[in-house]
Chain A
Amino acid sequence: MKYLKTEIMVGIFMLLGIIAACVLALQVAGLVLNSKAELYTVYAKFENIGSLRLRAPVRIGGVAIGRVTAINLDGESLTPVVSIGIEKKFDKISSESKASIQTSGIIGEQYIAITPGFYDEDLGTTYLKNGDFIADTGSAVILEDLISKFVFNSSQDSSKADESAKSSDTESTKE
């Protein structure tokens, strides 16, 4: 029984290590093993998703209601399709709602903000359900585009378009 105290302390030490690993994985890295909140998935097509990442939050009025569960590219239209997982308890979201990619702060994380639309059965709107597409979407605001819009006026914009066309030409000649 000489090692008893040591053994207990070492046991606690190892246990702490395992707990720390679990908490880091679940709380910090947001690993969801078996999420309690069940999600239903809706899809939204964006022109540009900016730097939206997997598991980015989905919010209505700033309140998180779900996560981005997948980001794919539609093979035909070549537009990004974002799968949005929304908790089942938020089932009264109109199909006319708008999904837009927004940024918290200037250089913060990007998230999807859903702006609820009107709901009127007579006009044929429904609630979003699993598998639906959100038609009304707003793409990510790309900071660089914003700056270039701000710096160049519209005439320069057209010359810039020319330039980009030229540069693509030169690129193709290189190949």
Chain B
Amino acid sequence: MTELLGVLGRYALKKISSLGRSTIIFLHSIIAIPNLKKSFPLLVNQIYFVGVQSIIIILVSGLFIGMVLGLQGFNILKDFMATGSLGTLVALSIIRELGPVVTALLYAGRAGSALTAEIGQLKASEQLSAMEMMAVDPLRRIIAPRFWAGLISMPILSLLFCLIGIYGGKLVGVDWLGIDDGIFWSGMQASVDVMEDLGPMVIKAAVFGFVCTWIALFNGYDCRPTSEGISRATTATVVQSSLAVLGLDFILTALMF
């Protein structure tokens, strides 16, 4: 019994100390007066890796999720003679939930794991140490631009996901199943609000971007510098990010909608 308590205690201490470490790392990388001339190209480069290279997977997933929603929604609404509400159904479910959540999950899998592996690799090959010994703070040079890039990219990716998802739903509902174009859009326009739906969506996406990027960077920075350590850290990134996104989604939804 006491042994169990000891194990639990050690586990809790380990988790709490890693939370503390991650916060310190985060603060060190963020609370820095950025040298705009030097930091901006780094940021642009990272937005390219984190954001631009995730576009394809986001667009393809968004299109298919929108199409599936259109198809399923049509089949259900048909029974209630309410296919006119398909636009509302597709738009609200994508904008309020699926858009930010699925984008964040894909982002964690695509960009988050890559970030962890990259930072872990830099650590394993002593590049982070070398940078530190050259009096260049790796938190500012390596971590900070990636963090900001993630924070900026996620809302944009999420917006793109929503847009293509809604057009995917329209493709199925209007162009294939023959719902009236006007009804589809007007129902949607009547129920989707910029401040009540789109705003919270962008906020959600930014929060998810913040959390996923932070988790990914910390796992990479804190991993054991071996091949096994890197692969574990990468797995941990995807698992922790996914759990964090789903949990936070509930909290944010409860707060904002």
CB–CB under 8 A between A and B in the complex?
yes
Q: Pick the contact of B160 from A17, A27, A29, A111 — CB < 8 Å?
A: A17
Query: Given contacts A9-B48, A10-B51, A104-B183, is CB(A28)–CB(B82) below 8 Å?
Result: no
Indicate if A98 sits at the interface (CB-CB under 8 A): no
Tell me which residues from 2 to 47 in chain B have a Cβ below 8 Å from any Cβ of chain A: 41, 44-45, 47
* Chain A positions 8-28 with a Cβ under 8 Å from a chain B Cβ: 9-10, 12-14, 16-17, 20-21, 23-25, 27-28
CB contacts (< 8 Å) of B187 on chain A: these are 104, 108-109
Decide: A28 near B51, CB < 8 A? Known: A17-B156, A105-B84.
no
Q: Are B159 and A20 interface neighbours, CB within 8 A? A: yes
Q: Pick the residue among A17, A28, A56, A104 that contacts B95 (CB under 8 A).
A: A28
> A111: which B residues are within 8 A, CB to CB?
186
Inter-subunit contact B156/A24 (CB<8 Å)? no
Shortest distance from the beta carbon of A100 to any chain B beta carbon, whole Å:
17
Minimal beta-carbon separation of B56 from chain A (angstroms): 12
Q: Is the CB of A64 within 8 A of B186?
A: yes
CB < 8 Å: which of A13, A14, A24 contacts B162?
A: A24
Number of residues of chain B lying within 8 A (CB) of chain A: 41
B190 on the A face (CB < 8 A): yes
Question: Please, how many angstroms separate the alpha-carbon atoms of A7 and B197 in the complex?
Answer: 32
Contact with A along B186-223 (1 / 0, CB 8 A): 11111111100110001000000000000000000000
Contact B52 A24 (CB under 8 A): no
Considering only residues 56-94 of chain A, those with a C-beta below 8 Å from chain B are 56-57, 64
| Contacting residues, chain B, for A20 (C-beta < 8 A) | 156, 159-160, 162-163
- Cβ–Cβ contact B191 & A53, under 8 A: yes
Whether A105 lies near B48 (C-beta < 8 A) is: no
Given contacts A20-B163, A21-B159, contact A104 B198 (CB under 8 A): no
CB of B105 within 8 Å of the partner chain: no
Counting CB contacts under 8 A, is B166 at the interface?
Answer: yes
Residue of B nearest to A63 (CB): B182
In the complex where A20-B156, A31-B194, A105-B82 touch, is A13 in contact with B51 (Cβ < 8 A)? yes
Q: Does A173 contact B (CB under 8 A)?
A: no
Bound: A12/B185 CA distance, A: 27
- Which residues does A use to contact B, with CB under 8 Å? 3, 6-7, 9-10, 12-14, 16-17, 20-21, 23-25, 27-31, 53-57, 64, 104-109, 111
The 10 closest A-B pairs by CB, nearest first: A30-B189, A17-B156, A105-B82, A20-B159, A104-B84, A29-B192, A105-B81, A108-B82, A20-B163, A6-B48
Residues of B within 8 A of A (CB): 41, 44-45, 47-48, 51-52, 55, 77, 80-85, 88, 91, 95, 153, 155-156, 159-160, 162-163, 166, 182-183, 185-194, 197-198, 202
